[in-house]
Amino acid sequence: MPAPHAETKLGSTPVAATETFDGTWPFAARYSDAPGFPMHYVDEGSGPETLLLLHGEPTWGYLYRRLIPEWSAHARVIAPDHMGFGKSATPSDRTFWLQDHINNLESFVLDLDLRSITLVMHDFGGPVGMGLAARHPDRIRRIVSVNGPTPLDQPDLLERLSANASESAWFRWIQQAEADGVLEEVLGHLDFNILSTLKLNGFESNDVITDTWLRAYGAPFPTPEHSAGAIGWAKGFATGKHQFESADGATRRAISALPALSIWGAKDRTLHPSHFLPLFEQLFPSAPVHRLEHAGHYSPEDAPTQIASLVRDFIGLPDRASHDVPANSPNGGPRPNPSSPVRRSTLLP
């Protein structure tokens, strides 16, 4: 199993596979080498439904820690960490643009042969997930946007992105920091400034802030080298390196016909609902939209109970309370011991 700061030729994994952050992350660590580096994910529960949870900047699967047990009581729930985030490796010879993350996710999904996927997407997990959907619409069953953009060739996409960037303190800071030459220096110290970064993007519930919570979000970034994922996402925006996936007319129609749901923290200061909900509604004109009036950008931190319920009802899952949950299994069923990480590869000794 990997140790903290364990180096491999394909990158460093700064967070140990067995790290549970004082029991707040009790899920068994699994790793796939399909994307060309050790990509960490959790795979909890079983059932006819498969939920694929995608995080964004600068979080990791930990964002979904209170949702995974709710949904995995009656479904299979998979939460990967993007390259350079969470317990995944940060290769030194890779770029971290949007298209790279789409490529990685595609390799991961094909490796696990995931089908009938319900995508649950937050932040830049939205464009990554939509990229997967554009490439493999036959593998997608539903789309759930949780403060996650759904770009797919909308005619006013660039106009709305530009308007949002002019209003968002986070995107204005990125542009200014890149112009001043300090973006990499600041985001290279996320182990120290993770709270201010998360706060700038926006969450409303200060009750979630504990030493354990701060350690969980800061641990993946112990050095500037380990912060390459977070730096890359911001720098890609500032320099125009990110490339949205496009789709032909037939693929776009197939995606638009999928059942979809949007859940948006209305106090999002980074991805303003006034710009991103219209993009969602263009693609999914009949889909329900739920605005969480007291939640911010990191709505899974602010409103996990509401989000769990909305998604459960949308998919048609029973309430977790209806499941016979053993006292020692917070995800509603037996699973591997977190002290014994499961791997699909042998990259990590």
pLDDT tens figures, 159-187: 999 999 999 999 999 999 999 999 999 99
pLDDT for 11 equals: 63
Its pTM surpasses 0.75: yes
pLDDT range class, residue 194, cuts 50, 70, 90: very high
Neighbours of 53 (CB within 10 A): 26
With respect to residue 295, please indicate whether it lies within any of the assigned structural domains.
Answer: yes
pLDDT range class, residue 339, cuts 50, 70, 90: very low
With respect to residue 130, please indicate whether it lies within any of the assigned structural domains.
Answer: yes
With respect to residue 113, please indicate whether it lies within any of the assigned structural domains.
Answer: yes
With respect to residue 12, please indicate whether it lies within any of the assigned structural domains.
Answer: no
Please provide residue 58's backbone torsions phi and psi, each rounded to the nearest 5 degrees. Answer: -105, 50
List all residues 6 or more positions away from 14 whose beta carbon is below 8 Å from its beta carbon: 4, 5, 90, 219, 220, 221, 222, 223, 226
With respect to residue 4, please indicate whether it lies within any of the assigned structural domains.
Answer: no
List all residues 6 or more positions away from 204 whose beta carbon is below 8 Å from its beta carbon: 265, 267, 294, 295, 296, 302
With respect to residue 84, please indicate whether it lies within any of the assigned structural domains.
Answer: yes
Q: E strand or H helix at 51, and its extent?
A: strand 50-54
23: left (phi over 0), alpha (psi -120 to 50) or beta: left
Residue span of the structural domain in which 328 resides? 30-343
Looking at residue 182, which CATH number applies to its domain? 3.40.50.1820
Count the domains in the chain. Answer: 1
With respect to residue 22, please indicate whether it lies within any of the assigned structural domains.
Answer: no
pLDDT in tens, 80-102: 999 999 999 999 999 999 999 99
With respect to residue 348, please indicate whether it lies within any of the assigned structural domains.
Answer: no
Q: E strand or H helix at 54, and its extent?
A: strand 50-54
pLDDT for 324 equals: 45
- The 3-state DSSP class for residue 87 equals coil
DSSP single-letter state for residue 24 = T
Mean pLDDT across 245-270: 97
- 282 with 273: CB under 8 angstroms? no
Residue-wise over 100-124: b if at least 16 C-beta within 10 A, else e?
bbbbbbbbbbeebebeebbbbbbbb
Which tokens sit at 34? 């399909």
Lowest mean pLDDT among 6-15, 154-163, 209-218: 6-15
